[in-house]
Amino acid sequence: MGGGHNGLACAALSAKAGLSVALFERSPILGGTAVSEPMWNGYTVSSASYVCTLLDPWLISELDLEGRGYHAYRKDPATFNVLRDGSSMLLGSNDDTNAAEIAAFNPRDVAGFIELDRVTRRLGSELFETFSDDEPRFENLPAESQGLLRGSVAEFIERYVETPVLQAAIATDGTIGTYLGPRDAGTMYVLAHHFAGRALGVQGAWGYVRGGMGSISKALASAAQSYGAHLFADAPVEKITVRDGRVAGVVLRDGRTIRAKVVASNAHPQTTYADLVGTELLDDATRARLKSWRTIGPSMKVNLAIGELPDFTARPGTTPRSHHRATIHVAPSMDYIQQAYEDTKSGSVSREPMLECFLQTPTDPTLVPPGKHILSIFAQYYPYDVCRTWTKEDGEREADRMVALLAEFAPNLPGAIEARQIFTPADLEARFGLVGGHIFHGELLPGQIYEDRFPTRSSIDGLYLCGSGAHPGGCVSGFPGKRAANAIVKDLKATFRQAQGDTVKR
């Protein structure tokens, strides 16, 4: 149930293991939040997720995703931070260039940055090694790392470097999708999670996917179909049926009943358990977890079709240059990001939001008509509970504010915009089924990770959670889908062996 990339991974692996699989997706397009959508005239937009690092290398090879069209280009340089005084910092994989960029602000930070980067990648690697665990436990991580991961990303970064813009360039990955500021405990886990990927063959490196993020979902769907899975889009599930404590199948919104020994749900845990199963059928632990689950999303996404590249005052030019390929941040300091979060405490949105922008098209021009580009803005903080009653005009006004902020650094931007697509947190909920608009199906913070995330095996026999509500949580990774398929196959084999044993005894 659910054709996000995790549902597709689960379907593909289950079908490959010999199970008879049917997948039902609510939306007319498969892929959930890993989609490439045809938009405007001749544009293809990664409307939700936009960059990739965590996709499981085992999955890539096991399902031959490269043979099915998946390819990622490394995003290098990695980050470009712009400042109001006209300066900027561009960081990537080249140590010499990084050293020169950092030394222009503060030579003392060059060595600190190298050490910080090493420790962050080590933490990411330690997480990666646990992401496939059948029974994940936070305490299985090295003791020293557990302490770090429970802390704040600010505390960690400030140990190594002093330059405000350098601190902010790193801290953004500790707050993405997270309704906390960088000085709040637990954000260090979010940073390490974003360094856990190896899809590009380098720990923590990110990449643009050829054809947009939907290429991952398309490759997974092709694998699932090649092993005999039947995939149905535009087929919302209305109810998961349970009989005598065991799952019995699903009922579709059009009234059809599908019987099944096993149901794997890719939907948000709230949708799966409260809406489709019914809380009265759950055990106390699941009910308690649902009640306390933190799933208020703080993010807005705006996709812009632009006629020319942003011409940054700090690095002029509208022909593609290296900084156009990096993640472009409007986040000059840790205090700026923290203030953007603190603003929400009085029930409003950030007066000056943190912006994380991407231009995929200098790397992959096949997504746009010749000479055109797509600029995506991911902005915080826009909490779901503040924005849920917004009108379309409210969303438009905030998008205007984001563009005006970016225009302080790239004055040609407003005049280059030809079309735009806006997602407030409420729009993310309505369009993708993300409860509370939370991009990870719930916060990725201590208290909601490892053994504290929703278990893959639910308390109802035969019902599994195969989406980001299960370990290791959100991002385009395929791990929750793989872990669910492994659990399903293992449990069915055990049931089969037990039944055979019973027959022999009789």
Ligand X SMILES: Cc1cc2nc3c(=O)[nH]c(=O)nc-3n(C[C@H](O)[C@H](O)[C@H](O)COP(=O)(O)OP(=O)(O)OC[C@H]3O[C@@H](n4cnc5c(N)ncnc54)[C@H](O)[C@@H]3O)c2cc1C
DSSP label at 455?
P
Is there binding between residue 24 and ligand X (CB under 6 A)? yes
Shortest Cβ distance from residue 422 to ligand X (Å)?
Answer: 11
Least distance from C-beta 2 to ligand X, angstroms?
3
By beta-carbon proximity to ligand X, the closer residue of 33 and 175 is: 33
| Closest C-alpha among 487, 492, 495, 463 to residue 132 | 487
Residue 6 as a binder of ligand X (CB under 6 A): the answer is yes
Direct distance between the N- and C-terminal alpha carbons of the chain, in angstroms, rounded to an integer: 37
Based on the shown chain and the rule CB under 6 A, indicate whether residue 75 belongs to the binding site for ligand X. no
Q: Which residues of 391-425 are buried (b: 16+ CB within 10 A; e: fewer)?
A: eeeebeebbebbbebbeebbeebeebeeebbbbbb
| Shortest distance (Å) from residue 374 CB to ligand X | 14
Q: Does 72 bind ligand X (CB under 6 A)?
A: no
For residues 355 and 378, is the Cβ–Cβ distance under 8 A? yes
Stretch that binds ligand X, among 43-51, 117-125, 180-188, 381-389 (CB under 6 A): 43-51
Is residue 51 part of the contact set for ligand X (CB under 6 A)?
Answer: yes
Closer to ligand X by Cβ: residue 11 or 475: 475
- Closer by beta carbon to ligand X, 98 or else 217: 217
Residues 262-291 that bind ligand X (CB under 6 A): 266-267, 271
If one asks whether residue 27 binds ligand X (CB under 6 A), the answer comes out as: yes
CB atoms within 10 A of CB 238: 13
H/E stretch holding 374: strand 373-380
**Tokens 């005009």 label which residue?**
393
- Tally the residues of the chain: 506
Establish if 5 lies at the interface with ligand X (CB under 6 A): yes
Which range in 44-52, 124-132, 344-352, 402-410 contacts ligand X by CB under 6 A? 44-52
| 375 binds ligand X, rule: CB under 6 A | no
Please choose, out of 3-11, 109-117, 183-191, 349-357, the segment that lies near ligand X by the rule CB under 6 A: 3-11
In the bound state with ligand X, the residue whose beta carbon lies nearer, of 264 and 334, is 264
Q: Of 27-35, 37-45, 398-406, 488-496, which part binds ligand X (CB under 6 A)?
A: 27-35
Q: Does 439 bind ligand X (CB under 6 A)?
A: yes
For residue 95 the two structure tokens come to: 């140590």
What are the CA-CA distances from residue 407 to residues 410, 417, 453 (Å)?
5, 12, 40
The sheet that has 299-306: what strands, in order across it? 88-91, 79-82, 327-330, 354-359, 373-380, 299-306, 417-423
In Å, how far are 119, 196, 438 from 148, measured between CA atoms? 10, 15, 25
Examine residue 237 and tell whether it contacts ligand X (CB under 6 A).
yes
Chosen residue from 11, 12, 16, 33 binding ligand X by CB under 6 A: 33
What letter represents residue 191's amino acid? Answer: L
Contact stretch for ligand X (CB under 6 A) within 100-108, 361-369, 397-405, 475-483 = 475-483
**Residue span 393-432 as binding mask against ligand X, x where in contact by CB under 6 A, dash where not:** -----------------------------------x---x
Taking the C-alpha atoms of 455, 458, 463 and 465 in order, what is their torsion angle to the nearest 10 degrees?
-20
Nearer to ligand X, 263 or 282 (CB): 263
In the numeric block, which tokens belong to residue 14? 């289950």
Coil, helix or strand for 398?
helix
Which residues sit at the interface with ligand X, rule CB under 6 A?
Answer: 1-7, 24-27, 32-34, 48-52, 54, 236-237, 266-267, 271, 301, 428, 432-434, 439-440, 467-468, 474-476, 480
